[in-house]
Amino acid sequence: MDEVIYFLHMPELPEVETIARTLTPQVAGRCIKAVSLLSPKALQTGSELMPRLEGAAITGARRRAKLLLLDVRDSSAAPLILAFHLKMTGRLFVHPPETPPPKHTKLILELFAPDGTATESRLFFDDARTFGYCRIMRPEDLPEWPFWAALGPEPLEHNAGFLAARLEERNGQIKSLLLNQNVIAGIGNIYADESLFRAGIHPERKSSSIARTDLETLMLKAQEVLREAIAACGSSIRDYRDAEGRAGAFQNSFMVYGRGGEPCRRCGKTLKTGRVAGRGTVYCRTCQQ
């Protein structure tokens, strides 16, 4: 039977961070025995670097914005980066060596532990909707990648005052600015709506109409919600899973996201659903001004 593909939520900062944290112990220290690119379109760039992956050692997985990065060193110890954008349905999973790839598998890395401390395994990059991609890059190529070069600062690596100044510099609808990866990286629809609710700010407000102290509060609330979501291993909407196949739990803590028409958990009034910045948006007309 064909899989039913739902409209999915794109993993945001907490989900990609969770994938990186759960993937690292499964791949760090492993070497790549072979690479199979089953769908050439899934490799956006770097086919000429693919031969250097064979025999390369994976040093770890990390996140930048919503990108999942695998750090490797080739046989002459030169660093390479595999950058994955999972988009809506991309997944990275480690499987036992005999596992046949499902039909949406785009790329397979055959892994082994050179010190013999672990059995062989295979890492699949699967993507049912094919919007996700992989890039194989040298670290020095990253600044030349326009998408990478334009990414804004990480919200958990700067203080709220610095991030508020980023919002203040641009005049626009506040939710639109929160979603703009070039202003601040990693926040998507879920965490934008949750941050705005916690800060009591209406998603359609113009940033220029919001006091600096309220922008700082918004960024403190965004940091709070992102940290709580990472602690809960992300939010599972439909089929998001971390790299160990577990669902996150933060969806149980949503104040507004996905709750349109339900009572506000703070004031009891019915939550409103609208379209802001081209995205489905839920907010409370009483609690958010």
**Nearest residue (CB) to Zn ion, 137 versus 255:** 255
Stretch in the footprint of Zn ion (CB under 5 A) among 18-26, 132-140, 150-158, 281-289: 281-289
- The letter for the amino acid at 214 is D
Does 286 engage in binding with Zn ion (CB under 5 A)?
yes
- Shortest CB 179 distance to Zn ion, Å: 22
Stretch in the footprint of Zn ion (CB under 5 A) among 33-41, 88-96, 195-203, 277-285: 277-285
Interhelix angle 212-231/160-169, nearest 10 degrees: 120
- Shortest CB 45 distance to Zn ion, Å: 47
Per-residue interface string for the shown chain with Zn ion, residues 212-251, x marking contact by CB under 5 A? ----------------------------------------
**Nearest residue (CB) to Zn ion, 86 versus 271:** 271
Does 82 engage in binding with Zn ion (CB under 5 A)?
no
**Which two three-digit tokens encode residue 150?**
């334009």
**Nearest residue (CB) to Zn ion, 129 versus 269:** 269
Is 265 noted as a catalytic residue in this protein?
A: no
Classify residue 209 by its DSSP letter: G
- Shortest CB 55 distance to Zn ion, Å: 58
Is 129 noted as a catalytic residue in this protein?
A: no
Cα separation values, 214 from 115, 205, 233, 287, Å = 54, 12, 28, 14
Who contacts 117 (Cβ-Cβ below 8 Å, separation ≥6)? Answer: 29
**Nearest residue (CB) to Zn ion, 60 versus 200:** 200
Who contacts 107 (Cβ-Cβ below 8 Å, separation ≥6)? Answer: 35, 36, 37, 38, 39, 42, 43, 124, 125, 134
Classify residue 75 by its DSSP letter: T
DSSP 106-149: EEEEEEE-TTSSS--EEEEEEESSS--EEEEE-GGGGGGSHHHH
- What are the φ/ψ torsions at residue 47 (nearest 5 degrees)? -60, -30
Q: Which residue is nearest to Zn ion (CB)?
A: 264
**Nearest residue (CB) to Zn ion, 208 versus 289:** 289
**Beta-carbon-side half-sphere exposure of residue 151 (alpha carbons within 13 Å):** 18
The residue count for binding Zn ion (CB under 5 A) is 6
Is 54 noted as a catalytic residue in this protein?
A: no
Is 97 noted as a catalytic residue in this protein?
A: no
**Nearest residue (CB) to Zn ion, 150 versus 267:** 267
3-state secondary structure 140-160: HHHHHCHHHHHCCCCCCCCCH
**Residues 247-276 close enough to bind Zn ion by CB under 5 A:** 264, 266-267
- Shortest CB 284 distance to Zn ion, Å: 3
Among residues 63, 66, 198, 205, which one is catalytic? 66
Stretch in the footprint of Zn ion (CB under 5 A) among 47-55, 162-170, 220-228, 279-287: 279-287
Binding site for Zn ion (CB under 5 A): 264, 266-267, 284, 286-287
User: What positions carry a catalytic annotation?
Assistant: 11-12, 66, 279
